[in-house]
Structure 1
């Protein structure tokens, strides 16, 4: 009988076990359907006895600065802590009880069940509606959340999880939408209609795929004449008739290091750039002087202009599609997996940053009402 049982048969699970040798487990991330190396993993471990177990990854450095994200129920997550790090390829965990089961992940997961819990808080809100955007390739309903005033022809579209593993922006969006929905009266909801697609690649999210660099191309390179994915084709058909004012696509960057540790915008060419700059300035004002250690700060010095680094014009991305719809403000928001050495990203402070993002966007949108 195995002393340590590794499993990934849960929402978002992803792992390949190489060997189990005593209290040492060697494993690696599963790169199925991925054309390039990537870093996401998520598994559960159950120990039949109390012991210290070493988990060693055999395919490059994939353990973050705070050790793994850890959970006992698969819903609520925290960081195991930097003390658990042996290296960026391995960590240890002290199992203290017989048959103790723990979930470990590269970063804070966000699954469909998280969204369902969020939605349940607001499903009776008079300005909230829920639809099915389309049915995925694996026959999952792709949720579409509407929040605001459908009588006004002013539309905002948020998309997330074009790359399945990029989970932390989902918490930001909970904070963003929750900020508007929790107010007794919201200027934004009274004058605009928000359309939110929380899982563009819902099959990848639930299956635990990397999603990034999916072969033959991933969902964020599918805004082409003949999309190969049902969800991207449905987004095109749904958004094209709208009078789109704002289109923002939310992503996670590379694993860590440099600007990958802080929130940043990937911007468009002028004149859209100048509209995004207004939003960015508001967000900077709201976050730069925060005093709590867990507050997430945004500084536009880290933003990436169009034509710089990865932010190249190619016309195949969701943001490029928003541009073609002549939206006034279009941007990609990149939101890290871990944070800086000063501030670890958690479910709570990601939502808190989302609320400040909502305030910044509110300031921008109020200006639009006067134009």
Structure 2
């Protein structure tokens, strides 16, 4: 019988999430903490201490679908700053096993590679003196947290084009934040000719973390009751200060030539292991999105992560239909996404949702580095798309 003391497991850190059901000397059993989530979802993230030198088995229970991704869990040995995938070979069913290094005082284990306010703060601190970056305040969250509004590129009022970027309407969709950071870093670099063009001709307005409370608390964010941030833009919307502020920003600011809302897909769905644009109902806008998509497909052909237009999800395909935009709390009320909110605005050009996978894109490994590289390709694609629009 194993007489070793149980390890210490907790979620008391930014992004932490789990219901811990059992902790032994060499075994942990948990399930995702759904809190105010309608239905089931998959995000979890724990801290493990006192396990140095042990072999641990971790079981992740869910009522529906997997709780472990296709490359196994993400593992961090430095407090969540850097992550690696444990690997699919370590997974059997709903369990995985890992050997904790002899000198590891702490491990973090998660469904995905965490990106919290700490990561954003490091990026902003590193670029604080940059003349092409301005940090402002969009609003305060319900819990009083700062919701950042970033401006980068041409900040002098002489720009030809304006772009709005949003991310983390769903708190758990952390891999999209790595993409966004890569895109922003490329614009600020101004090294490549197209990046220099973006710096000179485009103002980027960025809400890097919409659901700041959810990210800090480790919420799922997806399907939050009575509806989540991503469905808070219509007549039944206005529940959250962040989405009210974004709506007002669009009203006050006027023209945007492109709006891109970054997400991550359902891990259990058939569309998880690929990146794709989600089709809007309007045919004219979808045609414009497909021109942006053509540029992105070409730009990613030689990169670490492929994107294929054939993977896109036109409106009325799979889950992307009217039923996806109905309340799930029994009221059956139509809800409005940011993309739908923009549909009838004559002062908004191409607008789209992009779903970026958590761990795998057509067999290629998605991690923080490859996600940032994808953000670079996205920046290049936007430059081509915006230059094309400038000629129209």
TM-score by length of 2: 0.89
**Structure-2 separation of matches of 1:331 and 1:124:** 31
Partner of 1:280: 293
Offset of residue 340 of structure 1:
4.0
Contact 2:8 2:48 in 1 (8 A): yes
Offset of residue 49 of structure 1:
5.3
Offset of residue 155 of structure 1:
2.0
Offset of residue 188 of structure 1:
1.8
Residues 207-235 of structure 1 show CA distances to partners (whole Å, capped at 9, x for unaligned) of 00000000010001110235010000000
**Structure-2 separation of matches of 1:96 and 1:308:** 46
Q: Runs ≥4 in structure 1, deviation > 3 angstroms?
A: none
Partner of 1:296: 305
Q: Secondary structure at the match of 2:224?
A: coil
**Structure-2 separation of matches of 1:188 and 1:261:** 30
**Structure-2 separation of matches of 1:345 and 1:220:** 24
- Structure 1 49/252 Cα, relative in aligned 2: closer, same or farther at 3 Å? closer
Which residue of 51, 56, 60 maps to 2:54? 51
Aligned residue runs from structure 1 range 65-80, under 5 A: 65-73=70-78, 74-80=80-86
Offset of residue 272 of structure 1:
0.8
Q: Secondary structure at the match of 2:247?
A: helix
**Structure-1 separation of matches of 2:34 and 2:239:** 20
Contact 1:17 1:26 in 2 (8 A): yes
Residues 242-285 of structure 1 show CA distances to partners (whole Å, capped at 9, x for unaligned) of 21211111111111553210000012222111111111111111
The runs of 5 or more residues in structure 2 that have no matched partner are 326-334
The runs of 5 or more residues in structure 1 that have no matched partner are none
**Structure-1 separation of matches of 2:270 and 2:349:** 30
Offset of residue 189 of structure 1:
2.5
Contact 2:274 2:362 in 1 (8 A): no
Contact 2:305 2:361 in 1 (8 A): no
**Structure-2 separation of matches of 1:166 and 1:190:** 31
**Structure-2 separation of matches of 1:247 and 1:285:** 21
Offset of residue 59 of structure 1:
2.1
Contact 2:9 2:23 in 1 (8 A): no
Which residue of 239, 245, 251 maps to 1:240? 251
Contact 1:69 1:107 in 2 (8 A): yes
**Structure-2 separation of matches of 1:173 and 1:256:** 24
Partner of 1:194: 204
**Structure-2 separation of matches of 1:49 and 1:354:** 36
- Structure 1 86/365 Cα, relative in aligned 2: closer, same or farther at 3 Å? same
Q: Secondary structure at the match of 1:361?
A: helix
Contact 2:7 2:24 in 1 (8 A): no
With 59-68 and 34-43 compared, the bigger mean Cα shift is at 59-68
Which residue of 126, 138, 143 maps to 2:143? 138
Partner of 1:329: 350
**Structure-2 separation of matches of 1:341 and 1:358:** 21
1:41 is aligned to 2:44: yes
**Structure-2 separation of matches of 1:357 and 1:104:** 29
**Structure-1 separation of matches of 2:223 and 2:269:** 20
TM-score by length of 1: 0.94
Offset of residue 2 of structure 1:
4.5
Partner of 1:254: 266
Q: Secondary structure at the match of 1:38?
A: coil
With 202-211 and 279-288 compared, the bigger mean Cα shift is at 279-288
- Structure 1 341/310 Cα, relative in aligned 2: closer, same or farther at 3 Å? closer
Which residue of 243, 264, 271 maps to 2:284? 271
In the comparison of the two structures, how many residue pairs are matched?
366
